[in-house]
Amino acid sequence: MSADIKGDNQPYDDINVTPMLDLAYVLLVVFIILTTASVQGVKVDSPSTRAADNLARPQTRAITITADGAIYLDAYPVTLDQLKSRLADYKAANPALPVVLKGDAATQYQQVMQVLEVAKQLDITELGLVTRRAAP
């Protein structure tokens, strides 16, 4: 028996790196998930306002109109017909559907009116306009 005990206490010739690699792979997967999960949205230059508390609720759908007139629904490009059908689906699921309209300051007024007309046709009453706070 003393020979068996002596064999168990011998120093290791190599280091087991498997647990360290497992940790590295888990950290890599977490990093990939966190960086791809963040939704960037569409960047526009919003007009300024002094009104405060323009906060959107979590169930809010965002319609964005860029300076060149492109329309986005929750960061996805859509046409007016696609916007109407998707908003109708959201409205069917949530009758009190809140929508915010975020337009670039250089957006043509006609494009904004067309989007507002779609919201009116779908009887969306909770509609907000996104602006940025003006400097005092």
Q: Residue 19's pLDDT is what?
A: 83
Residue 11 inside a domain? The answer is yes
- Do 84 and 124 fall into the same domain? yes
Whose CA is closest to 101, among 89, 119, 123?
A: 119
- Do 83 and 115 fall into the same domain? yes
Residue 9 inside a domain? The answer is yes
pLDDT in tens, the chain (136 residues): 455 555 567 777 777 788 888 888 888 888 877 776 555 566 777 777 665 555 544 578 888 898 888 899 988 899 999 999 999 998 888 888 889 888 888 888 888 899 999 999 989 888 888 877 777 6
Q: How many domains does the chain have?
A: 2
Domain residue limits at 7: 2-37
CATH of the domain at 123: 3.30.420.270
Q: What is the pTM of this model?
A: 0.57
- Do 109 and 54 fall into the same domain? yes
- Do 57 and 111 fall into the same domain? yes
- Do 27 and 92 fall into the same domain? no
- Do 122 and 61 fall into the same domain? yes
Residue 43 inside a domain? The answer is no
Instruction: Copy the structure tokens of residue 38.
Output: 């963040």
Residue 84 inside a domain? The answer is yes
Q: Residue 74's pLDDT is what?
A: 87
Q: Residue 133's pLDDT is what?
A: 75
Residue 99 inside a domain? The answer is yes
Q: Residue 82's pLDDT is what?
A: 92
